[in-house]
Amino acid sequence: MEFIDYYKVLGVTKSASNDEIKKAYRKQARKLHPDINPNDKEAQAKFQQLNEANEVLSNPEKRKKYDTYGKDWENGEAYEKQKQQQSYSNSGAQQSYSRGNYQEEDFSDFFSSMFGNQSGNRQRAQVKYRGQDIQAQLQISINEAYTAHKKEFAVNGKNIRITIPAGIEDQQTIKISGFGGTGVNNGPNGDLFITFSILNTTLFKRVGNDLFLHHDLNLYTAVLGGEVTITDFNNTKLKLQVTAGTQNGTKVRLKGKGYPIYKKDNEFGDLYVIFTIPIPTNLSEKETELFNELSKATKN
């Protein structure tokens, strides 16, 4: 697997602090996000690689392994365990397999010789290790999360294509079995855990499966009643009847017009329309006169 310098991807030095790594990630993520570069495959590939780099370097334990083992960082634990077993099994021959003995040897070659050498100790060669689980982050828009769709991205140099169910929630994690780190010596692969970040730039606020929309209602319609037209999340025009004397903050519920419910076909939450009644400003002379007459009539 080709080595990827995650520090270079993020544009930071190896001595960068966690805050510097987070800041660098956010800065580049804003530039490379697929919503900003919808038809730029190169930008999308860089965004996926950026997520990989952030996922590893923002985790102190993974970062330490990456700094120690480079591209073989996922197999670091297997290396340590196997090294201990070698040291133990060879103690009678007064042989030591300390880390210093391998300083000049590339870790990739070491793994190959340690786990793939059929001429060595057969019992040792049969020891299998499960691949490491991988934690990844994937950002999608609230519009994308509204419908089930396929998404392709790269994790540790491997392209992965998954179907994202409609209604996935912000910070929800799903498990993809067998797509984690590669097992050592024919051991099983680890699993891939993807945590979703839902980007919302719409007028709708999502709470669970419900959507909330603020709609300005002019004073006259609020007082006298009437009809208003709103647009739901699907860009469908809906007409609502307004009762005379509607108060500021009145909430109207539209059943089944909210967000899709995760893994439940054709089931949706509700849409709540909240009326906001702005006070008229910059009144004309005639409007001021009429309001004064109304004020006097109200006092009487």
What is the full per-residue pLDDT of the chain (300 aa) written as tens digits? 456 789 998 899 999 998 999 899 888 888 887 777 777 888 888 888 888 888 889 888 888 888 887 766 777 666 666 655 555 444 443 333 334 333 434 445 544 544 444 444 444 446 778 888 888 889 999 999 999 999 988 877 778 889 999 999 999 999 999 888 888 888 898 999 999 999 999 999 999 999 999 999 999 999 999 999 999 999 999 999 999 999 999 999 999 999 999 999 999 999 999 999 999 888 899 989 988 888 888 775
Name residue, tokens 């190169």: 42
**Given this model, what pLDDT does residue 101 score?**
38
Tokens representing 166 are 């409609």
What's the first-to-final CA gap in the chain, in angstroms? 86
Same topology, domains 134-199 and 205-299? Answer is: yes
**Torsion of the alpha carbons at 212, 165, 142 and 56, rounded to the nearest 10:** 130
Domain boundaries, the chain: 6-125, 134-199, 205-299
Dump strand ranges (E) for the chain.
134-141, 149-155, 158-164, 173-176, 192-199, 205-207, 210-216, 226-231, 237-242, 251-254, 271-276
Can you give the pTM of this predicted structure? 0.58
The C-alpha atoms of residue 83 and residue 75 are separated, in whole angstroms, by 12
> What does each C-alpha distance from 199 to 138, 204, 267 come to in angstroms?
11, 12, 22
Return the half-sphere exposure (C-beta side, CA atoms, 13 A cut-off) of residue 61: 6
Q: What is the pLDDT of residue 96?
A: 36
pLDDT at 82: 61
CATH superfamily of 134-199: Urease metallochaperone UreE, N-terminal domain (2.60.260.20)
Q: Which residues pair with 151 in a beta bridge?
A: 162
CA distance 280 to 282: 7
CB 124 within 8 A of CB 86: yes
Say how far apart CA 160 and CA 153 lie, in whole Å: 5
Q: Which residues, 6+ apart, have CB-to-CB distance to 44 below 8 Å? A: 32, 34, 37
Judge whether 154 and 160 are in contact, CB under 8 Å: yes
To the question of domain 205-299 being in CATH 2.60.260.20, the answer is yes
**In whole angstroms, what is the distance from residue 53 CA to residue 136 CA?**
10
d(CA 201, CA 156): 30
Amino acid at 140: I
Q: Cα–Cα distance between 173 and 170 in angstroms, integer? A: 9
Beta bridge partners of 242: 226
Q: Which two tokens stand for residue 290?
A: 């009429």
Q: Residue 206 class from Cβ within 10 Å (0-12 exposed, 13-18 middle, 19+ buried)? A: buried
Q: Which CATH superfamily is domain 6-125 in?
A: DnaJ domain (1.10.287.110)
Q: What secondary structure letter does DSSP report for 168? A: P
